[in-house]
Amino acid sequence: MLRWVRQQLGFDPPHQSDTRTIYIANRFPQHGHYVPQKFADNRIISSKYTVWNFVPKNLFEQFRRVANFYFLIIFLVQLMIDTPTSPITSGLPLFFVITVTAIKQGYEDWLRHKADNEVNGAPVYVVRSGGLVKTRSKNIRVGDIVRVAKDETFPVDLVLLSSDRVDGSCHVTTASLDGETNLKTHVAVPETAVLQSVANLDKLVAVIECQQPEADLYRFVGRITVSQQAEEIVRPLGPESLLLRGARLKNTKEIFGVAVYTGMETKMALNYKSKSQKRSAVEKSMNSFLIIYLIILLFEAILSTILKYAWQAEEKWDEPWYNEKTEHERNSSKILRFISDFLAFLVLYNFIIPISLYVTVEMQKFLGSFFIGWDLDLYHEETNQRAQVNTSDLNEELGQVEYVFTDKTGTLTENEMQFRECSINGIKYQEVNGKLTPEGFSEDSPDGNRHGLVKEEELFLKAVCLCHTVQINADQTDGADGPWHANGITSPLEYYASSPDEKALVEAASRVGVVFTGISGDSMEVKSLGKPERYKLLHVLEFDPNRRRMSVIVESPSGEKLLFTKGAESSILPRSKSGEIDKTRIHVDEFALKGLRTLCVAYRRFTPEEYQEVGKRLQEARTALQQREERLADVFNFIERDLELLGATGVEDKLQEKVQETIEALRLAGIKVWVLTGDKHETAVSVSLSCGHFHRTMNILELVQHKSDSTCAEQLRQLAKRIKEDHVIQHGLVVDGTSLSLALREHEKLFMEVCKNCSAVLCCRMAPLQKAKVVRLLKTSPEKPITLAIGDGANDVSMIQEAHVGIGIMGKEGRQAVRNSDYAIARFKFLSKLLFVHGHFYYIRIATLVQYFFYKNVCFITPQFLYQFFCLFSQQTLYDSVYLTLYNICFTSLPVLIYSLFEQHVHPHVLQSKPVLYRDISKNAHLGFKPFLYWTVLGFFHAFVFFYGSYLLMGEDTSLLGNGQILKPNRQMMFGNWTFGTLVFTVMVITVTMKMALETHFWTWINHFVTWGSIVFYFIFSLFYGGIIWPFLHTQDMYFVFVQLLSSGSAWFAIILIVVACLFIDVVKKVLYRHLQPTSTEKAQLTEAGSGINCLDSMCCFSDGETACTSVRRMLERLMGRCSPTRVNRCGISLNSLCCRRFSYKLEPDEPAAIDV
């Protein structure tokens, strides 16, 4: 009663219990105390904002950034107290940054709203009041019976009730959820499968109890209670009964299902929620620099305030005749005056913090990420797939990778399985011309050309054809004769499977005479040497990574109950009690040494009593709502025992193209490669040797098959000792899943020490969560290395999300890895260009961008600080407020943005052919304390030269103004603080722009345009701003100041002299360092210059008659390092429009690449 009251008052949340109860067609109990559970509606909401909360929510998110919040405080201080600069100087840049970001985010959210409205407004059919009612998707409620037709997507998560087929089955493709294009079969419980009409369904009285919503696509626990003739029948519900929103109905005319999860509680919506935010090392460095500059700002403000009061200790400076205090000022508190002055100085110097840095960095990352997708070298022609960027925030992190964790199957290999060998009853067989031939016999030998199959061979092949999840194209199973024509000639069957291993095995069996012809109802049909047999499918014991096996229980045509099991040898052999166990184990090891993937096959016969016990236990476990997985695991272990071993299979998975070269290049770049795989020890080692992960000369250490902490620890200590003794030799480490669990439990530090001293590490028999643990172990070690994880399957998602950078391979194991990754590529070989070229460029660009921003703001505000020593710390501003506002927004913003998008300090081919250059940027080398200190000191030095150079040249000699008409008495009027400040500002704009030009190696016409255009724009703007009386300005201190300054030849001389003086030392430093202590990159630049790879093939040297668009296209091709005649012509674009006609340089894939160490 109390709970009912709480629910009525709204205190009880709708999901308080672990399960939900759903009354089909919303036929609730009639007793008075029943309170319906509250469920979400079926609206999908991917947008962040509404019309009402956009402004407050967006502002809150933006002001969580330190720089934005800081400038808001400064703006409020300017409004509240009398400060030397106008509130506009802080408010306008802040408003600009906030507005631009809000417009971008608002537009993106509007697109999300638009997409949501299309989905939520889609028409659907629901069974209500005995008929089909057309409504909108958003109106579906939990408990509604929904009809879905062929090729339509499911609008909610449905439990299948019936289909147009008698057995209540349907076929579904989940490509939009996990990328798997194979057809999956879903089945309804028998009691509802017969209800194929709307009228019958409307009479259905049933209740579904199931778990609350969760994100796991492959897990569903529930049960349905159907009331029939005063009897209640309970049936279990699992993933095979659940149709997921977003999946599509195939090869089935129509289905009816009951909605169990709606809207944002569907598995699709729960899976599409944002991942945890990853932050790059550059962003962390940027925040550290901001804190340092904030300390500098506070120091300058406090020092200025103290010096002001020290100066005013003298009576003549405390209250000069031209600035007498009011009575209120004389009587005000000294503490309040001190705080007021401190805040005023804080406002005066606040531009040392670059507010536009965040916006520029965001634009650079967003626009720069397009180059990865546009790169033809990352395009895979066979599959028509190009590289994909899911997270542009981590572009520069690609240039900082120290560890690569890679999956094996589908990542290093093609994941295209080909049957090679098998072992049956202790005898090894190979497939020769569609026949199983014992090893040592050929087709020509007397025993090699056999007809038919012996009993053991046939039973083994039948086990392979029955124990799987393979499906057949529905078009081939519709006819009465299946795939067999009237003339007896077979048409090739087209198999679909989520596992390439299963498909390869079923295809191999069909080639040698045992053909799986499909599933009809609850029967599996097999043709053995042309003779059809029908096996009734009783139970499927699904595969899971913990058991590492799957099983089926079938009833043979003779009525026998049989269990067929296949799985990893470590999970099958210990459970086998008969068969050629020892011989098979030897054969499995031999297969593994050849690099083949192995599976063992076994079976068990049930007596009627045993099968009755099995059926009872399975029913109890499958109908349990609590701890169903644990109960099922116990039952599966009970069933899958006392097996009779039939044999083992060996399938080959070929290496991808250029895997060996890519791993070698990664090693030369100083990147350590770890292979994490679920394969057995021998298979993994064999593939590691073939792909170059392990060298033949490498000393391979092993940490395998340990069952206790003590033996594992002892082995680790011995390995550490061996590494110290043989420190000259390269070592490789092999560790299996069980030993790894022991090592991570108690001996993590010792294990890490061994791993770090090994050139390559191979972890085999790994569970998905173990992969993530290994990545986390390295990621959180004291050195904090940058990690990259690359994989292609759902079992790689955890490590992809755990690593600093996650890369998905667009392979054959679905798209879960791609969906959860930061970047996606089609082949492992593309990793080298992604890191060595794109990663290198992105890091260099953003490192320079960040430090340049701080440099130019030091140049900007330090003269303001120095000027206070000459104006009695009166807080007089040196620059006009318009200049203060536009310095970062207009005058100096574009050159650094264009640089950060297009800069190439070394030719892309040189970077890819010399992986050792990657070492020059590792460990955040360009954003460390030394580079930061250099840029900061350089900024202060330039600021001193600006200020004191202008002061010495212009401050005491009026002749430098000179046209001979200015009189000495008018000197102060003509050459006042605004003229001096404008001179300093002009020198500063030219110098910081020229500094950016000095840093630029790759010049395009866009660089020329924005670099020189920024300087020209400043001069034109200043002439117009100071040359016209603007009616909307309250005061115009700058009227005619700039014109008068430029009318003096001496002023021009001063500008040129100061700019040269500033940049001369920087140029000398660059020349000396380049010749005395050149880095590998600088040596490569010299080599590049000597070989003729220069700006001749850049955009600045296009021939006459070409349009600007042609030049832009050519520059983009050049930026991605793909000016290749064959590749460009393949895309239907003429070479002349893309590459420089005077020079073209591109190494084709088939040309040899020399790798220099």
Q: How far apart are CA 921 and CA 843, in angstroms?
A: 8
**1102 near 1003, Cβ under 8 Å?**
no
Q: How far apart are CA 650 and CA 592, in angstroms?
A: 8
Q: How far apart are CA 919 and CA 901, in angstroms?
A: 22
Query: Among candidates 659, 512, 654, which has minimal Cα distance to 596?
Result: 654
Please list, in sequence order, all residues whose beta carbon lies within 8 angstroms of the beta carbon of residue 1131, skipping any fewer than 6 positions away. 376
Q: What is the CB neighbour count within 10 angstroms for residue 814?
A: 20
Q: How far apart are CA 785 and CA 567, in angstroms?
A: 37
Work out whether strand 805-809 and strand 787-791 pair parallel, antiparallel, or are unpaired. parallel
**913 near 1147, Cβ under 8 Å?**
yes
Identify the three-state secondary structure at position 34: coil
Task: Out of 157, 341, 377, 407, pick the active-site residue.
Answer: 407
For residue 403, the 8-state DSSP code is: E
Query: Among candidates 828, 834, 844, 759, which has minimal Cα distance to 790?
Result: 828
For the record, the structure tokens of 246 come out as 């977003």
**747 near 681, Cβ under 8 Å?**
no
User: For the chain, what's the residue count?
Assistant: 1157
Burial (Cβ within 10 Å: 0-12, 13-18, ≥19) of residue 464: buried
Told to judge if 407 belongs to the known catalytic residues of this protein, a careful annotator would answer yes
**789 near 760, Cβ under 8 Å?**
no
Please list, in sequence order, all residues whose beta carbon lies within 8 angstroms of the beta carbon of residue 959, skipping any fewer than 6 positions away. 1050
Identify the three-state secondary structure at position 623: coil
Q: What is the CB neighbour count within 10 angstroms for residue 319?
A: 13
- Give the CA angle between residues 1137, 1138, 1143 to the nearest 5°: 105
Q: How far apart are CA 441 and CA 794, in angstroms?
A: 42
In a 13 Å sphere around the CA of 274, the CA atoms on its Cβ side amount to: 8
Which long-range contacts (C-beta less than 8 Å, at least 24 apart) are formed by 777-784? 777/744, 777/748, 777/752, 778/403, 778/752, 779/803, 779/804, 781/752
**1054 near 954, Cβ under 8 Å?**
yes
The three-state DSSP-derived secondary structure of 692-716 is CCCCCCCEEEEECCCCCHHHHHHHH
Q: How far apart are CA 59 and CA 894, in angstroms?
A: 26
Q: How far apart are CA 764 and CA 739, in angstroms?
A: 10
For the record, the structure tokens of 905 come out as 């300090």
Active-site positions read 407
